[in-house]
Structure 1
Amino acid sequence: MTEKQKALLVGVNLYDQDHFQYSMMELKNLAAACDIEVAGEVTQNLSKIHKAHYIGSGKLQETIELRKETNANMVIFNDELSPTQTRNLEEAFNCGVIDRTMLILAIFERRAKTREAMLQVEVAHLKYMLPRIVGQGEALGRQGGGVGLRNRGSGETKLELDRRKIEEKISFLNKELESLVSQREVQRNLRNKSGIPLVSLVGYTNAGKSTIMNALVKKNNASLDKQVLEKDMLFATLDTSVRKMNLPKNQSFLLADTVGFVDKLPHHLVKAFRSTLEEAASADLLIHVVDYSSPYYQEQINVTNKTLEEMGIDHIPMIYAFNKADLTDCKFPLKKGNRLYLSAKQGAGIEELIDMISEITTKDHIQCEMLIPFDEGGLVSYLNQYASILSISYEIEGTKLSLKCRKSDFEKYREYVI
């Protein structure tokens, strides 16, 4: 029987950070997401990190004693450790030591379901391990088995591999990823040609993006198999799901659910999941979902916006959807500029969200009249499907339409405009 994983959490508060307690609480949630029992917590205020052991010698001794008292078989640090720090700490504690990055990688590895997500996680994991291969021996073995990773005996396997072999494996996996990414690119180009706007849900992990997506799918009277996984846990969604949504007046848009962000999200993962996040990069509109019930919601907004900025996608129009308003004293549904306070779980505010999406995605639509010859019946059918028909009448020369259409369609069929 596998020994129950029981960990001590260790965090350093550098320069008295405002959100340090939140960061430690989040580390506890990350541990829970990996089925690790938290036996205790150790924190220290420092002006700089200690190179050898990350924490000071006095705090190190205190943590060693606490680990013995609590029978913890693992110590988790709230920041990324250097290979030397990991090795020194494992020798001091005589047990497995992992950092926040390794913990997030382990959660991603558990959640990955599609081939693309699995490859992305494996590439990120190998890149993280690469500088930690040389001379780590037992420490690396402990890391591999420590958090319940199932990726093919990561600890022992990587001990047998040298740096060159790991780099070759990363290169091989990246080539496989590239072929999957090119397939996604083809799909994206086809969508762009259709002219249907793409709306992407972004935001902090567990803010309720999938719940909002399912509420919109339900509003569209779509079948249950169109709904996405919706669970109250960190990183429930790792794979991008795209659904077509219909708006009033023959308008439609594509809705994409993307991977959530988290504070100190490892750059290995941001880079690995870039292809998935490109659904957000190519969007016409972003819906930034916020867990309004969290006392740290403003910090979560800042983390998401900073990540979007680092990815170069902070220029896209955005709606802030303050979700879980039912768990606060706030009135909802309530619209204030580009902010909407709603409860996706209760379905309150979904109608208002659809109106806001419609307003933004049809902003460049042009109202005009067209006279379509009777022998161009296919064009009338097309406009009935992709434009908003305000009125229709039949003249001697053909079908007269009063409509609102996309700018691209207006330019394409300008010859019929009257």
Structure 2
Amino acid sequence: MKNGKILQTPEGYLNKMPIFQFILVSVLFALWGAASALNDILITQFKTVFSLSDFATAFVQSAFYGGYFLLALPASLLIKKTSYQVAIICGLFFYIVGCYLFFPASSMATYGMFLLAIFILALGLSFLETSANTFSSMLGPKDSATLRLNISQTFNPIGCILGIVLGKYLVFSDGASLEEQMAGMSANEAQAFGLEMLQNTLAPYKYILAVLIVMLVLFIVVKFPKCKTQAIVPNVKDKSAGFKETLKVLSKNTRFKKGVLAQFFYMGVQVGVWSFTIRLALDMHSDLNERVASNYMIISYVAFFVGRFLANFLIARYSSTRVLFIYSTIGSIVLAYASIVPNVTAIYAAVFVSVLFGPCWPTIFAHTLEVVEDKRHVEMAGAIIVMAIVGGAIIPAVQGLVSDLLGSMQWSFMIPTICFAYVAYYFYKESKIEKTEREKSILSA
């Protein structure tokens, strides 16, 4: 480092963190948090307005996380050819278009049009997550990459809280629940009332649009470091890695593949629990309306924030794999309780488990990225890990189907319970591998 200048290592990391740029990248985590939180509101609203089954309501998450899945690899290729900054600008653009499409969707009043708007919005978020997760971990020294990503991810629950609060007050109404209100209406009255309720879905996206436009301008005008790898590989003249070469290398990396699978199941847990917590509360508290029931989600996101903050403290002092093994093991037990105990404490269990979600995504992401030794493959590796977010499209749909088949939203929570148990198993195995590697390192020294 000369005169405090920020320099880049051959692996793409920086010798010190550029604070303003790091903050801007971290704010992106709040922006996609708000979008994902609003999905939980939309699922509850659409179920009644469009008379949907639990399986059909999960299509909101399928459209959302399906969009993530489809563009993660193209986003990584764009990063490889240009920069993280360019990919973020593209992501913000698609996010803006998706938010705008909610306006014609509310006028057309068709479920399919809303799903299209959510899908386009998610295409933008795929660019943002594919770039921001890796970019955050690279914006500073390598030895603090996981901690740095966990700090950025702390912004995510803040965005979730803001999104759910906007939904609570701008989308949901006071009085009896929507289902109870519409039950006493004629077909024409119910249709008119449903159209009015759909108009309410626009309000949160107006505020989000304003923030997105400001962020787009900032990312266009502010200078960001490239953080592109310049790894020197012996006996290889071309330092860049092709698409086929990267896939071949990653397909042979067993720990990388297990990390991707763990991310898939974790996303299924998180999205499944959050998608149906309001529905669980309405089922077990028949006197609640949607606005009051959404308080459980606000508490869930606060718990998520607390859990992530606590995890940052623990991971800075202890092995991240050991911390996550303990978190996910306790989480599996808590979700099992939420699935089988036939009283309102099951709701509190579903809320509390969000404390244990806090560090999962960023830790799995950063840990899985670290096992890719040849950093020429890091952009695509990051994209593939982001693609595992498709678990949020598939697992909630399975959970909704189980709810419909069994006639019990509570019993459907066994699906995320099983998924979280696999995450615990993954971190147990990874902690044993790390322990063995430390012992070998001590012996060789």
TM range (shorter): under 0.3
Structure with higher helix content: 2
TM-score (norm 1): 0.23
Whichever structure has more strand as a proportion of its residues is 1
Q: For CA contacts below 8 A with separation 6 or more, give which structure has more relative contact order.
A: 2
- TM normalised by structure 2 equals 0.22
